[in-house]
Structure 1
Amino acid sequence: MNSSRPYLVRAIYDWVVDNQLTPYIMVDALMPDVEVPERFVENGKIVLNIEPQAVGRLRMGNDAVEFDARFSGVAHHIFIPVRAIKAIYAFENGRGMVFTEDEDGGNDGRTSPPSNSSVYKPVKKGRPNLKIVK
């Protein structure tokens, strides 16, 4: 099954912009194929303003988000695989969505069997305790 993350990112982006708010994304800059200016990365993350007026040639595909932006006056082409997007939200009120690895099939789509401790085990009781009511 396809990841829902790119669809949710686009939907929240549209919702934020439609409400005249500023869409921001938080990106795991340490993931493979992420192309962002490294000097703005803090603790392995970078937060980017993707407001239509702040970026050029924005493309939000199923595999990646890419656009042109300026950082301290220097033009950069930004490329972010969708799996590297950890959150998208409105700057003004913080409303949006945070993504976890589980939502994206972080284990390459494979599911592991539940551990024995999480398997439902019915409690065994003695004989049923029923009474006749007249």
Structure 2
Amino acid sequence: MNALESTSTRPYLIRALYDWCTDNGLTPYVAVQVDETVQVPREYVKNGEIVLNISFDATSSLKLGNEFIEFKARFAGTAREIMVPVNRVIAIYARENGQGMAFPVPVTGAPAPKPSPLTSVQAAGTSPEQEGKVVQLVNPDSAGEPTDPQGEPPKPPSGPRPALKRIK
């Protein structure tokens, strides 16, 4: 199997950072670029993005799959079914300190994967060249590098603002 045939690293990194957050008592948030393939409450979408709390306390029946993140959550007291294609996740980070990871923004208009438990394909919207690039969020006070304006994820609700540092 060569790099072009391999599956996307994005779902594995999301699961790893989710585990890191929960193991350290932090609250995992995901930033999602919303399009017609994303099933979220549209009234909470701002500038084409939504930030979701995916902690154990905020969700029910959470499934972090290779193609989709699925769970049930309450929004203003109303239970909602949430389904996010993994390729639409643009960042996962801890609410308390902003540490996490950002991903390349999906190409607009790219087809989303169809829900199928038997499919194992690279996430739509990311080319093999983009998939190899990983972006790490770092605290700008400790990094000494400027913030990357092209791929900055949404700010966490409180705490220090994360900056992006590309790892090659």
Q: TM-score, normalised by structure 2?
A: 0.61
Q: Deviation of residue 40 (structure 1)?
A: 0.1
Query: What does residue 64 of structure 1 align with?
Result: 68
Greater relative CO (CA pairs within 8 A, separation 6+): 1
Q: Confirm or deny: 8 A CA contact 1:3 1:105 kept in the other structure.
A: no
1:84 maps onto 2:81 in alignment: no
Query: What does residue 25 of structure 1 align with?
Result: 30
Structure 1 runs (4+) deviating above 3 angstroms are: 104-111
Q: Confirm or deny: 8 A CA contact 2:32 2:50 kept in the other structure.
A: yes
Unpaired stretches in structure 1, ≥5 consecutive residues: 112-134
1:93 maps onto 2:106 in alignment: no
Q: Confirm or deny: 8 A CA contact 1:23 1:88 kept in the other structure.
A: yes
Q: Deviation of residue 106 (structure 1)?
A: 3.7
Structure 1 distance, partners of 2:129, 2:25, is: 40
Query: What does residue 43 of structure 1 align with?
Result: 47
- The percentage of aligned residue pairs carrying the same residue is 49
SS of residue in 2 equivalent to 1:16: helix
Between Structure 1 and Structure 2, how many residues are aligned?
110
Which of 6, 16, 20 is the aligned partner of 1:15? Answer: 20
Unpaired stretches in structure 2, ≥5 consecutive residues: 1-5, 107-122, 131-168
SS of residue in 1 equivalent to 2:11: helix
Structure 1 distance, partners of 2:129, 2:26, is: 37
1:4 maps onto 2:4 in alignment: no
Structure 2 distance, partners of 1:53, 1:62, is: 22
Q: TM-score, normalised by structure 1?
A: 0.76
Output the amino acid matched with 2:94.
Answer: A
